[in-house]
Amino acid sequence: MRIFAIFTVLFLSVTGISNAKVLDINVVTSNKGLSAWYVEDKTVPVISLSFSFQGSMFYNDADKSGLAYLTSILLDEGAGDLTSQEFQRQLADNAIELSFTAGRDAFHGHLKTTVDNKAKAFDLLKMALTKPRFDEDAILRMKQSTISQIKNNIGNPNWVSARTFNGMLFGDHFYSRPGQGTIKSIENITREDLIAFTKKQFSIQDPAKSFFEGMQKLNISIAGDINKEEASKLVDLIFADLSFTNEVIKMPNAELQNKGKTILYELDTPQSFISVGHSALKRDDKDWYALTIANYILGGGGFSSRLMHEIREKKGLTYGVYSSMNNMNSADIIQASLSTSNENAAEALGILKTEWNKFAENGVTIKELSDAKSYITGSILLGLTSTSQISNAMNSIQRDNLGIDYINNRNDLINAVTLEDIKRVSKDILKSEDFMTVIVGKPVGIEADIKLDKLPKMDQ
């Protein structure tokens, strides 16, 4: 399907004029049994490939936090017989975009190339996954860069707030550890650790048994100027030589900590950085769509949200306040954050809690619900304007195990939500008394239950 056709089909789908598909997603199974989703689009001679391996931070030991991250920034620093400079030069000379990201639950990769340079691009990606060099000079350079970033982050109040929030919310679960690592843990990582990580991370289960706690360990999605036969060959070319594993990974649930507690990390700054959060709904819960709309109206909708109206527009206490939902393999949370002067911290936090409770008690208006649905259903268009966005969107749907027709059914699921659904779900989920509240700064008029003298998990 062509990109311009996607625009037309999407408009018809959102406005209800047609039941045409938003995306025509196909499944290809390679000769060696690996499967991938793909969308053919010949508008421009470009191919985008997105893939993800379940695991990532799960494979990081406590004293080696940052191992997945360090691997992600070293994979394009030389592979096979190509040194770092040679590898980077081939990417640049052939206009190839290649990137890797270590997330909480999955290790992600993305490749974008022109059709003319696809053979070179696919070869470079395969080498990065199967024959990374991990030369000592590259490891040292990336370690020094990472340690420098960590030192800079420690002076950034926003980063300190996020680190404190994650470190205190997730207890001893691996989610509580800093994804980028600590100065000590980065120094601890050896070349042998990097090699061992890639062997575990870039392995696949037998295609006949390729389930990772209900999900495929490796998810592959392709979009662009490529047909079914080419997509099948591409999958085998890049991934079929990875080793098989019989490992069954069971990620432990993250038991959320410090429910109802206020945690203070004092920092000499004129503002207080406030983050609050509590448990929410799993991604596969039938009420997830109602909570998504509720979150948009409450704090996810920017200047149109209730929290922004009450705390910024009416009181002028902050430049911005936002809420968001975060669904992970082992935890599901809804949280909100803002910054304000130390003198106004107590008032701003009080209004946030009041509005949270009012929302839970009273629900939303017909206009709020209608406006939110219009935005959420229409926003899908902006996320499907390039082959990269399409392949990334498909890969996200694969990881969430939502099914190949999800993107075509999504707007119907949003539009089916009623005022009564919003009120019922909000009353069940939104409970300010369950907040874990983290404040970084020197707030006036707030008593903390826990006062920290060091950042959590940063001394390992």
CATH code for the domain of 332 = 3.30.830.10
pLDDT(9) > 80: no
pLDDT(281) > 70: yes
- Mark whether 37 and 104 lie in a shared domain: yes
pLDDT(226) > 60: yes
CA-nearest of 177, 215, 172, 259 to 54 is: 215
Tell me the Ramachandran region of residue 78: left when phi exceeds 0, alpha when psi lies from -120 to 50, beta otherwise: left
Residue 116 lies in a domain: yes
| Residue 382 pLDDT | 80
| Residue 2 pLDDT | 39
Express each pLDDT in 13-27 by its tens digit.
333 433 457 899 999
Q: What is the total count of domains within the chain?
A: 2
What is the β-pairing status of strands 332-341 and 271-279? antiparallel
| Average pLDDT score over residue span 419-446 | 98
pLDDT(247) > 80: no
pLDDT(116) > 70: yes
| Residue 428 pLDDT | 98
Q: What percent of the chain stands above pLDDT 70?
A: 93
- Mark whether 43 and 152 lie in a shared domain: yes
| Residue 410 pLDDT | 94
Are 366 and 190 spatial neighbours (Cβ–Cβ below 8 Å)?
Answer: no
| Residue 334 pLDDT | 98
- The band of 249, judged by pLDDT with boundaries at 50, 70 and 90, is confident
Domain that holds residue 113: 3-239
C-alpha dist (Å) from residue 390 to 45, 338, 375, 380, 402: 15, 32, 19, 11, 16
Are 412 and 224 spatial neighbours (Cβ–Cβ below 8 Å)?
Answer: no
- Mark whether 235 and 351 lie in a shared domain: no
| Average pLDDT score over residue span 153-180 | 97
Determine the length of the chain.
460
Residue 108 lies in a domain: yes
The rounded distance, in Å, linking the Cα atoms of 295 and 415 is 15
Average pLDDT for the chain: 92
The rounded distance, in Å, linking the Cα atoms of 334 and 324 is 6
Residue 459 lies in a domain: no
Partnered with residue 79 across adjacent β-strands are 82, 132
- The band of 381, judged by pLDDT with boundaries at 50, 70 and 90, is confident
Give 405-431 as a DSSP string. THHHHHHHHHHT--HHHHHHHHHHH--
